[in-house]
Amino acid sequence: MLGFLGLESTDELFRAVPAAIRLAGGLDLEPGLSEADVSVELATMGRRNLATGIAGSGLVCFAGGGAYDHEVPAVTRALAGRSEFVTAYTPYQPEVAQGVLEALFEYQTFISRITGLPISNSSLYDGSAALVEAVNLSVAETHSSRVIVSAGIHPHWRRVLATFAKGTGHEIEVVKLVDGLTDWDSVPGDQGGCVVVGFPNYVGAIESLSKARSLADRLGALLVVCQDPVSAGLLQSPGLHGADVVVGEAQAFGTALSFGGPYLGFFACADRLVRRLPGRLVGETVDLGGTRSYVTTLRAREQDIRREKASSNVCTNETLMAVTAAIQLGWLGTAGIREIAIGGARAANYARKCFSQVSQISLATTAPMFREFALRLPIPASVAIDRLLEEGYLAGIALNEGYEGTDLEETLLLAFTERRTKEEIDHFVTAVRKVVSR
């Protein structure tokens, strides 16, 4: 600011204020808290007010499974809420939409860096839609309708995939989990269209992408990775491990939980697959005057132009959610994403140690995890969740749907973000111990 104003110091900035009315020694105040710390303190005050009948901030959230309680900075809310973005639609006319197109181009750049792949579209409806599009692309590219899907993929995503497969004729095979990890060795045959794996998977375990890559090579299939994008702050990107397509849910970047939507599906792929890329793709060019500008590009690959050859029927995107993610990622930067990832991982590791010391509770898997893990309780997880609701906690997800008849059925899936404090975790562990002992 001083440089922009052409000033040398803050003393020069305040020279217009008479010295007689300036504070000589500064304000006697404690150092300021970060925005996240202030938010936590306000939330704590709100929960205390619940006891007096004053409206508070609600439940402490330990639920995840694709939707996470992350901090959304004021700058993200303020910029993403501007009318230029809120009222914008998919920009077909670049001459009147340069600002939105540039924001989407930046979003694509961020997603490419997170996934480790060179090409990203400007978003899809949500994570499940992105997975469907990845499978469609893979089947079209390999000419094989066999789809090998890990049971570690979100059960809802698997249901959406199965629904679309009824129309496309894709043959979906679900591979079981053993101790939280996909049993790739159990997959027979020597051909397939794609192999789908979560990284980390739905139950929180960090899968070996090299094993999934080896299976894809044996089958002549593409490797599709469903990535938790926050994990890029700590784990190597899937593209570095040979992923052909990386998809996922980017709600964690600036979008509030909002009772389940609207959310943001991201999609990235290798260079050679760009002609099959679904949805919008924004490119950078120059206009007749040599000025940098942005346009939607490679339109001939899209369903509305290449109907008989297209592998996708999507020709739009989640503009507002993508712009929000771009603002959030630009605000965080590389160091910020790492800080968020470390915060969630540390909280999860601390909670896991705490629960491992409770005699009635055991870990559902011993697999390495990032920020989620499942607990085996002496009572059904669904019952524990209902009881913990009365204690002020959104206590997680009961692993029922998609895991019937497995050793994960009725276990409790917990998730942790940078917002969860040691105090909250300690009180939560105490509350869980209380409700399972009733």
Choose the final residue of a domain: 300, 329, 358: 329
* In a shared domain, residues 179 and 50: no
Q: Do 291 and 213 fall into the same domain?
A: yes
- The pLDDT value recorded for residue 31 is 83
Phi and psi angles of residue 196, each rounded to the nearest 5 degrees, phi first: -115, 125
Task: Give yes or no: residues 316 and 368 share one domain.
Answer: no
The answer to the question of residue 232 being in a domain is yes
- 388-419 per-position pLDDT tens digit: 999 999 999 999 999 999 999 999 999 999 99
Q: Would you state the pLDDT for residue 304? A: 67
Q: What are phi and psi of 375, to 5 degrees?
A: -115, 145
428 vs 352: CA distance, rounded Å: 12
The Cα 183–Cα 375 span in angstroms is: 21
Buried b (16+ CB within 10 A) or exposed e, 395-415: bbbbbeebbeeeebbbbbbbb
- 41, 113: one domain: no
- Does residue 226 form part of some domain? yes
Q: Is residue 28 part of a domain?
A: no
Element (H, E) at 353: helix 319-356
| Average pLDDT across the chain, whole number | 92
pLDDT in tens, 238-284: 999 999 999 999 999 999 998 888 999 999 999 999 999 999 899 99
Question: Is 103 domain-assigned?
Answer: yes
Are 247 and 227 in contact, with CB atoms under 8 Å apart?
yes
Query: Does 319 share its domain with 368?
Result: no
- Domain-terminating residue out of 304, 329, 354: 329
Q: In the predicted model, what is the mean pLDDT of residues 350-375?
A: 96
Has residue 187 got a pLDDT over 80?
yes
Same domain for 293 and 308, yes or no, is: yes
pLDDT value for 128 = 97
Q: Residue 51 has what pLDDT?
A: 47
In this prediction the pTM is 0.87
Shared-domain flag, residues 235 and 154: yes
Q: What is the mean pLDDT of residues 318-343?
A: 96
Number of folded domains in the chain? 2
Residue 48: its pLDDT value, please?
58
Q: Where are the beta strands (DSSP E) in 179-307?
A: 181-182, 194-199, 222-227, 245-249, 265-269, 282-286, 292-296
Q: How confident is the model at residue 46 (pLDDT cuts 50, 70, 90)?
A: low
Does pLDDT of 37 surpass 90?
Answer: no
- Does residue 341 belong to any structural domain of this protein? yes
Task: Please indicate, yes or no, whether residues 363 and 382 belong to a single structural domain of this protein.
Answer: yes
Residue 66 CB contacts under 8 Å (≥ 6 apart), including other chains: 127, 154, 156, 202, 249, 251
Domain encompassing residue 156: 74-329
Q: What percent of the chain has a predicted confidence (pLDDT) above 90?
A: 78
Does residue 13 lie within any of the structural domains?
Answer: no
CATH number at residue 185: 3.40.640.10
User: Nearest Cα to 266, choosing from 156, 113, 70?
Assistant: 113
Asked whether residue 8 is domain-assigned, the answer is no
Please indicate, yes or no, whether residues 41 and 160 belong to a single structural domain of this protein. Answer: no
- State mean pLDDT over 290-318: 80
Q: What is the CATH number of the domain that holds 426?
A: 3.90.1150.10
- Does position 49 have pLDDT exceeding 60, yes or no? no
Same-domain status, 150 and 79: yes
Question: How far apart are the C-alpha atoms of 137 and 170, rounded to whole Å?
Answer: 12
Q: Look at residue 238 in the predicted model and tell me its pLDDT.
A: 98
> Would you call the peptide bond into 200 cis, given omega within 30 degrees of 0 as the criterion?
yes
Task: Please identify, among 288, 310, 329, the residue that sits at the C-terminal boundary of a domain.
Answer: 329
Q: What is the reported pLDDT for 91?
A: 67
Give the separation between CA 407 and CA 91, rounded to whole angstroms: 48
Give the pLDDT of residue 438: 80
Whether residues 68 and 153 share a domain: the answer is: no
Question: How sure is the predictor about 54, in pLDDT bands with cuts at 50, 70 and 90?
Answer: very low
Task: Give me the pLDDT at residue 42, please.
Answer: 76
Say what the pLDDT of residue 93 is. 73
pLDDT digits (tens, 9 = 90+) for 151-178: 999 999 999 999 999 999 999 999 999 9
For position 55, what pLDDT does the model report?
Answer: 38
334 pLDDT higher than 70? yes
What percent of the chain shows pLDDT beyond 70?
95
Residue 6 included in any domain: no
Indicate if 316 and 189 belong to the same structural domain: yes
